[in-house]
């Protein structure tokens, strides 16, 4: 039997009218997958109110999620920093609408035990399990035994001065997973391992809007997931691609970047939210970039126009042929799948460059219009 093809994409924000149009360039490829997995970044609800200590993302219309079903998505991960931004009803309505499209969710729920439940689906002759964890906060987004929210791994940040100037800029920044939540992630993976043929772990992690840089905790946490039994690890949250590597024969995609991520919430002009307008201004200063004015619904780092579809071919004996399909975000915010031409090779070269910058010892090759790595 031919191998099963699992495709995975990064952040999805469907905050514009008629969202089906954003999938038109990629629909044929997405529907060709045996399993298609994505990450919904914001709550989709017409109820509730903003509920976050961070800068809240505005909720989108739940009806927009129907575009994901029509695009072929079968699994959506929900453990992210914005999923609780509209409170409990945002989580409830998002999950309800996705399930109405026959899409299985994981990572969020009405309490922590529910948020930790895996998505289980059949993919050809394989049973696939998917788990989802938020590693970036805020605490308000985390589920508890009695509170809705997301599954999570707490990451601790420590700043160290290299000179005698209290309050000065740090010379070193240390980040590491808090042990109890790390062990809980391990337990979830180990408990699922015997029930599935393929185990995918999605980690909402990384440094926002920062090219070619991994925080200290990212590689150890990703490897811990594989040591516990994961076959494929994917990252998202930074809204920009990060490098890829192989660990113990298993692929790690450190940041899948954006996919359909369309919003005007981060616009500086005519923004109805003063808090979001101020954040849009501050993040330009913090991360040192200006969004391309030709991209009115895609206010991200210029390098975030590079993106990918993770492509894993899984044989019946569990071997994984890891790769990706180079993609480009056009000025309308629509991802386009590229071929092995000048545009496609430029995106592939970008992925190789950022992998090298993070000292990932990854080798790349082409297989038709798909880039493989080992």
Check: CB of residue 47 under 8 Å from CB of residue 77.
Answer: no
Cis peptide bond upstream of 138, omega within 30: yes
152 DSSP 8-state letter? B
Per-residue pLDDT tens over the stretch 25-49: 999 999 999 999 999 999 999 987 7
Residue in 295, 309, 288, 340 with CA at minimum distance from that of residue 241: 309
Q: Does residue 174 register a pLDDT over 90?
A: yes
Q: Rounded to an integer, what is the distance from CA 52 to the centroid of its chain? A: 20
Per-residue pLDDT tens over the stretch 48-97: 777 766 777 889 999 999 999 999 999 999 999 999 999 999 999 999 99
194-221 mean pLDDT: 98
Q: Where residue 305 falls among pLDDT bands split at 50, 70, 90? A: very high
Q: How confident is the model at residue 270, as a pLDDT?
A: 67
CB atoms within 10 A of CB 350: 19
Check: CB of residue 151 under 8 Å from CB of residue 134.
Answer: yes
Q: Give the integer Cα–Cα distance in Å for 339 and 368.
A: 8
Q: Where residue 169 falls among pLDDT bands split at 50, 70, 90? A: confident
Q: Give the integer Cα–Cα distance in Å for 130 and 240.
A: 22
Q: Does domain 4-373 have CATH number 1.20.140.10?
A: no
58 DSSP 8-state letter? P
Q: How would you class 154 by CB atoms within 10 Å of its CB: exposed for 0-12, middle for 13-18, buried for 19 or more?
A: middle
Q: Does residue 360 register a pLDDT over 90?
A: yes
Check: CB of residue 109 under 8 Å from CB of residue 99.
Answer: no
Residue in 14, 79, 23, 72 with CA at minimum distance from that of residue 45: 14
Cβ within 8 Å of residue 237, ≥6 positions away? 11, 80, 81, 135, 136, 204, 205, 206, 208, 255
Q: How confident is the model at residue 52, as a pLDDT?
A: 64
Check: CB of residue 229 under 8 Å from CB of residue 190.
Answer: yes
Q: Give the integer Cα–Cα distance in Å for 152 and 162.
A: 32
99-124 mean pLDDT: 98
Q: How confident is the model at residue 53, as a pLDDT?
A: 63
Q: How confident is the model at residue 273, as a pLDDT?
A: 79
The owner of tokens 């185990």 is 199
Give per-residue burial for 294-317: e unless 16+ CB within 10 Å, then b.
Answer: ebebbbbbebbbbbbbbbbbbeee
Instruction: Domain ranges for the chain, please list them.
Output: 4-373
This model's pTM is above 0.75 = yes
Check: CB of residue 165 under 8 Å from CB of residue 159.
Answer: no
Cα end-to-end span (Å), the chain? 23
Give the relative orientation of helices 218-228 and 179-193 as an angle to the nearest 10 degrees.
Answer: 30
Residue in 268, 204, 273, 237 with CA at minimum distance from that of residue 49: 273
The owner of tokens 């005519």 is 270
Per-residue pLDDT tens over the stretch 215-272: 999 999 999 999 999 999 999 999 999 999 999 999 999 999 999 999 988 777 767 7
Q: Where are the alpha helices (DSSP H) in the chain?
A: 27-31, 66-71, 88-100, 112-115, 179-193, 218-228, 274-287, 342-357
> What percent of the chain is modeled with pLDDT above 90?
86
Residue in 5, 25, 8 with CA at minimum distance from that of residue 331: 25
Q: How would you class 49 by CB atoms within 10 Å of its CB: exposed for 0-12, middle for 13-18, buried for 19 or more?
A: exposed
């Amino acid at each position: 039997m031919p191998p099963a093809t699992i495709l995975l994409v990064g952040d999805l924000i469907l905050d514009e009218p008629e969202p089906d149009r954003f999938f038109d360039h990629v629909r044929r490829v997405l529907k060709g997958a045996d399993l298609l997995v994505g990450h919904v970044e914001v709550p989709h609800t017409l109820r509730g109110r903003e509920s976050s200590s961070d800068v809240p993302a505005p909720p989108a219309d739940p009806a927009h999620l129907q575009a994901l079903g029509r695009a072929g998505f079968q699994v959506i991960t929900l453990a992210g920093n914005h999923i609780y931004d509209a409170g409990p009803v945002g989580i409830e309505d998002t999950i309800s609408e996705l399930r109405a499209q026959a899409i299985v969710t994981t990572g969020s729920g009405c309490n922590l035990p529910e948020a930790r439940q895996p998505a289980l689906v059949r993919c050809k002759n394989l049973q696939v399990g998917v788990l989802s964890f938020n590693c970036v906060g805020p605490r308000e987004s985390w589920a508890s035994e009695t509170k809705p929210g997301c599954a999570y791994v707490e990451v601790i940040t420590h700043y160290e001065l290299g000179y005698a100037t209290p309050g000065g800029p740090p010379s070193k920044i240390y980040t590491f997973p808090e042990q109890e939540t790390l062990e809980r992630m391990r337990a979830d993976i180990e408990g699922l391992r015997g029930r599935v043929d393929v185990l995918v772990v999605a980690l909402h992690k990384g440094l926002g809007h920062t090219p070619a840089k991994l925080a200290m905790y990212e590689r150890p946490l990703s490897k811990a997931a594989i040591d516990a039994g994961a076959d494929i690890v994917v990252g998202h949250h930074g809204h920009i691609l990060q490098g890829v590597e192989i660990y113990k024969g298993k692929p790690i995609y450190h940041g899948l970047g954006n996919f359909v991520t369309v919003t005007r919430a981060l616009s500086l002009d005519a923004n109805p939210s003063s808090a979001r307008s101020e954040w849009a201004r501050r993040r330009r200063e913090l991360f040192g970039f200006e969004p391309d004015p030709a991209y009115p619904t895609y206010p991200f780092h210029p390098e975030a126009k590079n993106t990918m579809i993770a492509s894993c071919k899984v044989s019946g004996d569990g071997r994984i042929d890891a790769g990706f399909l180079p993609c480009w975000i056009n000025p309308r915010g629509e991802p386009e799948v590229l071929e092995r031409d000048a545009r496609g090779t430029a995106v592939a070269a970008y992925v190789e460059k950022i992998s090298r910058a993070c000292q990932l010892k990854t080798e790349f090759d082409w297989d038709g219009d798909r880039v493989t790595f080992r």
